Homo-oligomer: A and B are copies of this chain.
């Protein structure tokens, strides 16, 4: 029986990073994957959506760039080609992961893992022994048992990434990140999109002002907030409004994006405790079983690819490295790659106040920013909000809505990790002209002294 230092279950951004990092440290590592290298992120999540959203953005830009002197005629969107471009990206990234595994001497087996006990994993009838086990089995879309949910035109994010024709109309059930990104995508390429959300606002992790502005900027999309879907038929979706009124939306396709559920099925023989759907872990990502760790979506702590990767590093550091790391959740950036883009890192003002902190904050419009104006014009929407501790001046959160948000937000993560104060950020030199200058301007709006 082959014995490993570490077996990793799942080859997503949690699993493959754990395997890579442990392999780089000279450990004997096995990674088990039941489907494709890269997991949901690379194959049915982050990457394909960003590829298609980029095509959709190019399409919008081509139609809208006349105002800046660029005229395009007969602009058409070819879904088959966009899907092929997306597929090429996925395959290149999968090959990249394969190469990474090889160069770090990680053994990879494809198949479903079962467990004899917490030291023995069986894949395709072969048993592998291990000192440590990392569960990185991810999550799956939730399909609530609404009548009609099993009709063929009702898809989850997996299915909608494989369609062959742009749908005429689409109802998106659930206005979270996944729902809003697909709503942006399809409304940009000509689909009539309606979003039905049970809560009173979309994108619940976001500052309320920002969510409202995104919704307003998605001019081609109809939103029904505070509405409960009652049933789905081949003609469309029936829902009850906040006031109790029943209505229906005609639609040729329905996307179910109400959330994701940790993949804990099959873990029973390990004896790990599962609560609220996720494997229970502490700040070191330890489960109740001494040598078993759970990272990424499966522990339900932070369902983001980069959280999973960081958790992988924390575990590998503690097992095989310097071992001083706890997983910190205070500076995890998030991004919504819609049209417009948004991103944030740290606390919203509401969250900070709920924690009992005394905060100062400022919000500025991007339209006083030179590059924003040069590229977007003065009627475009863009916001930056910075939240800081009123007593210490330490920056608690940075929130962005507008172009480049997803590429600027890592800097906020650096500022938060370094625990920089308002007065420290005022000393950072931001390049001119750049949209990023809006962060500095917002910090000066909190405190203009020098």
Q: Which residues of A are at the interface with B, using a C-beta cutoff of 8 A?
A: 13, 21, 24-25, 41-42, 46-47, 50-51, 54-55, 58-59, 61-62, 65-86, 88-89, 92-93, 96, 304-307, 309-310, 313, 316-317, 320-322, 325, 331-335, 343, 368, 370-371, 373-375, 377-378, 404, 406-411, 413-415, 417-418, 420, 424-437, 439, 448-450
**A322 and B449 contact, CB distance less than 8 A:** yes
Chain B residues, CB < 8 A from A343: 431
Which are the 7 A-B pairs with shortest beta-carbon distances? A411-B411, A69-B82, A321-B450, A69-B81, A72-B72, A317-B450, A51-B374
**B69 and A427 contact, CB distance less than 8 A:** no
Chain B residues, CB < 8 A from A61: 58, 61-62
**A433 and B47 contact, CB distance less than 8 A:** yes
Copies of this subunit: 2
Complex: A418 Cα to B415 Cα, angstroms:
8
Q: With both chains docked as a complex, state the minimum distance between the C-beta of A406 and any C-beta of chain B, in angstroms.
A: 5
**B78 and A431 contact, CB distance less than 8 A:** no
Closest Cβ neighbor of A316 among chain B residues: B450
Closest Cβ neighbor of A46 among chain B residues: B433
Closest Cβ neighbor of A433 among chain B residues: B46
Which of A72, A309, A322 counts the most B-chain CB atoms under 10 A from its CB? A72
**A333 and B407 contact, CB distance less than 8 A:** no
Partner of A407, one of B408, B414, B450: B408
**B413 and A333 contact, CB distance less than 8 A:** no
Asked, given contacts A70-B75, A72-B62, A370-B50, whether A418 binds B414 with beta carbons under 8 Å apart, the answer is yes
**B75 and A68 contact, CB distance less than 8 A:** no
